[in-house]
């Protein structure tokens, strides 16, 4: 089982430290849907795991959408008559509204005000604002600084290009024994926001790296996708429809470093392998399970009715539920390395369940086979079976070819790891075999 080799406790702490280092390196880069900041981000990721890069030209259709023009920002400021910069992109990349068109003007404060964004209720924080699909421009600033602005005039400059180019995304593929796949998606488009979503990027990188370095090949193929929100997943889906029938499970990752508890959001179907594995792994913890809703991150694209993929989402505090969300307060001080480590441990266990789940068939189904003569049962009778023997009996009883290991663990109310170890021992003893297509049909859980 992958869990033993993937991220034991000491390895999870080391991986969390590496995740933190990556977050620090990526934080200064100015990212958006497209542009050089995204490519630089993928360059840094590519130093840690192998990547397959894709550049999708502007104007390319992606279902009802099309790839936008590429945006690159060199510099931007609002300066008074003496040349003092009241707002300066070089001080913080959130100061410029994402995808602002180029501008160079002299304006009074009254003329400038419609282009300014601030938060009266959070006067010391800079808001994050974008205008991806409507051509306009704007600046974001602390409300306290906005209130200090005099009547002007001001030199207003956004030195940017918005021109035909490309959207960049990248994939890291861990080949498995099967071509059936698990998808992991995380968005790459947010500038200077540490929890949203550098924590998701860094945790995905560490999980991918652990899978790449695992001493045993996973049963399933794992595909990690790093792309911008919404248009990135739509671009990937539009170019990969032929492989979607092989997707058995999947996760969207984000917001994994803040102090909040873990939240798992169900897929549209609500009873997929991903949903059931997450519920099993998170049972008994302080994590919370959320019902599906068509709002959030890229799970809403993967779970749109035309695809209806088994994609859930794992976060800590969900989007829009913590005060620092989409503001300059979502900085490095919000991230807790211990929270990254716990998220990685949870993901490692969830990955192990998804990867090891299979449908066993009892090869000696008429009565119980003699386990003692195969060294699988205690030699002294009269007492209750131990935990391992108990798991053996459950697997043998339920392995009729219609239930996978997760369904057996749910029915028996046993840890998945225990059931998987029992199944492996029975297979080794020649009492069990795995069906050729273990994930082709998914039992919906324990029978009453």
Distance from C-alpha of 355 to C-alpha of 182, rounded to nearest angstrom: 8
Beta-strand pair 247-253/70-79: unpaired
For 17-58, strand residue ranges (E) read 52-57
CB-CB neighbours of 46 under 10 Å: 16
State how far the Cα of 189 lies from the Cα of 273, in Å rounded to an integer: 29
Q: Known binder of ligand: residue 190?
A: yes
Give 209's Cβ-side CA count (13 Å radius).
Answer: 21
Q: Exposure of 122 by Cβ count < 10 A (0-12 exposed, 13-18 middle, 19+ buried)?
A: middle
Q: Are strands 52-57 and 166-174 parallel, antiparallel or unpaired?
A: antiparallel
HSE at residue 202, side-chain half, CA atoms within 13 A, is 32
Number of CB atoms found within 10 A of residue 389's CB: 16
Residues facing residue 174 across a β-bridge: 222
Q: Which two tokens stand for residue 225?
A: 């996708």
Q: What are phi and psi of 345, to 5 degrees?
A: -65, -45
Does the annotation flag 187 for ligand binding?
A: no
Q: At 393, list the tokens.
A: 């009996």
Contact between residue 174 and residue 222 where contact means Cβ atoms under 8 Å apart? yes
Specify binding-site residues for Zn(2+): 190, 196, 326
Specify binding-site residues: 190, 196, 326
């Amino acid at each position: 089982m992958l869990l033993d080799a993937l991220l034991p406790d000491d390895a999870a702490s080391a991986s969390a430290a590496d995740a933190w280092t990556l977050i620090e390196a990526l934080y200064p880069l100015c990212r958006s849907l497209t542009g050089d900041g995204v490519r630089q981000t993928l360059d840094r990721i590519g130093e840690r795991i192998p990547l397959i890069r894709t550049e999708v030209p502007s104007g390319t259709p992606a279902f009802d959408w099309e790839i936008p023009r590429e945006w690159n920002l060199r510099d931007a400021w609002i300066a008074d008559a003496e040349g003092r910069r009241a707002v300066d992109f070089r001080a913080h990349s959130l100061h410029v509204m994402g995808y602002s068109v180029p501008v160079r003007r002299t304006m009074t404060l009254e003329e400038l005000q419609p282009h300014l964004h601030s938060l009266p209720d959070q006067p010391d924080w800079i808001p994050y604002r974008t205008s991806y699909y409507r051509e306009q421009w704007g600046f974001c600033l602390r409300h306290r600084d906005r209130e200090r602005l005099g009547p002007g005039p001001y030199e207003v400059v956004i030195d940017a290009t918005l021109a035909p180019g490309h959207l960049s995304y990248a994939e890291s593929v861990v080949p498995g024994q099967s071509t059936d796949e698990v998808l992991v998606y995380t968005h790459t488009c947010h500038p200077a926001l540490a929890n949203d979503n550098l924590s998701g990027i860094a945790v995905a990188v560490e999980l991918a790296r652990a899978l790449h370095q695992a001493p045993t090949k996973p049963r399933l193929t794992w595909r990690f996708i790093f792309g911008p929100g919404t248009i990135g997943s739509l671009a990937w889906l539009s170019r990969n429809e032929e492989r979607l029938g092989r997707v058995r499970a999947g996760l969207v990752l984000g917001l994994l470093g803040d102090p909040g508890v873990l939240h798992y959001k169900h897929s549209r179907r609500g009873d997929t392998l991903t949903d059931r594995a997450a519920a099993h792994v998170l049972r008994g913890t302080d994590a919370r399970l959320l019902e599906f809703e068509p709002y959030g991150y890229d799970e809403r694209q993967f779970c749109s009715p035309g695809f209806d993929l088994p994609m859930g989402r794992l976060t800590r505090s969900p989007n829009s539920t913590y005060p620092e969300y989409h503001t300059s307060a979502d900085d490095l001080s919000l991230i807790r390395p211990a929270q990254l480590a716990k998220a990685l441990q949870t993901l490692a266990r969830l990955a192990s369940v998804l990867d090891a789940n299979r449908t066993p068939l009892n090869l000696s189904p008429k009565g119980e086979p003699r386990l003692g003569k195969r060294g699988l049962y205690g030699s002294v009778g009269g007492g209750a079976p131990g935990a391992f023997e108990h798991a053996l009996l459950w697997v043998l009883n339920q392995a009729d070819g219609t239930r996978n290991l997760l369904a057996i663990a749910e029915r028996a109310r046993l840890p998945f790891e225990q059931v998987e170890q029992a199944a492996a021992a029975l297979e080794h003893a020649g009492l069990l075999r795995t069906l050729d297509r273990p994930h082709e049909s998914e039992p919906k859980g324990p029978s009453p």
